[in-house]
Amino acid sequence: EAQVTQNPRYLITVTGKKLTVTCSQNMNHEYMSWYRQDPGLGLRQIYYSMNVEVTDKGDVPEGYKVSRKEKRNFPLILESPSPNQTSLYFCASSNGQVGYGYTFGSGTRLTVV
């Protein structure tokens, strides 16, 4: 089944403790992206990657890092999480054609206390 897999689904952590949210897709998609979803703000793009070793900032990149060492994986790293990064995070992938649209993961609900 074609899918984007995120882990974990839920995570509670403390301020300053480094964490990684993993994302993997099995569709050989070139384009991958991370979004955060907050009430009233919709989805905001954090980082995206056009291909292996090619990443760029989205609209709200502060406090996040990403890497794209393999085509299928695109982990999101929070080096020193803060409470304002409490949010619902989505990974998404696409085949490189803007008209294709996204396939989304099921989301990761992160709480930073």
Partner 1 sequence: AQSVTQPDIHITVSEGASLELRCNYSYGATPYLFWYVQSPGQGLQLLLKYFSGDTLVQGIKGFEAEFKRSQSSFNLRKPSVHWSDAAEYFCAVGDSGTYKYIFGTGTRLKVLA
Residues near partner 1 (CB under 8 A) are: 4, 31, 33, 35, 40-43, 45, 48, 50, 58, 90, 92, 98-99, 101-107
For residues 18 and 73, which CB has a smaller minimum distance to partner 1 in the complex? 73
* Tokens found for residue 92: 């998404």
Residue 17 beta carbon to partner 1: minimum distance, rounded to whole angstroms = 25
For residues 98 and 113, which CB has a smaller minimum distance to partner 1 in the complex? 98
Residue 54 beta carbon to partner 1: minimum distance, rounded to whole angstroms = 12
3-state SS track over the chain: CCCEEEECCEEEECCCCCEEEEEEECCCCCEEEEEEEECCCEEEEEEEEEECCEEEECCCCCCCEECCCCCCECCEEECCCCHHHCEEEEEEEECCCHHHCCEECCCEEEEEC
Q: Whole-angstrom Cα distance, residue 112 to residue 17?
A: 9
Residue 80 beta carbon to partner 1: minimum distance, rounded to whole angstroms = 27
For residues 81 and 105, which CB has a smaller minimum distance to partner 1 in the complex? 105
Residue 90 beta carbon to partner 1: minimum distance, rounded to whole angstroms = 6
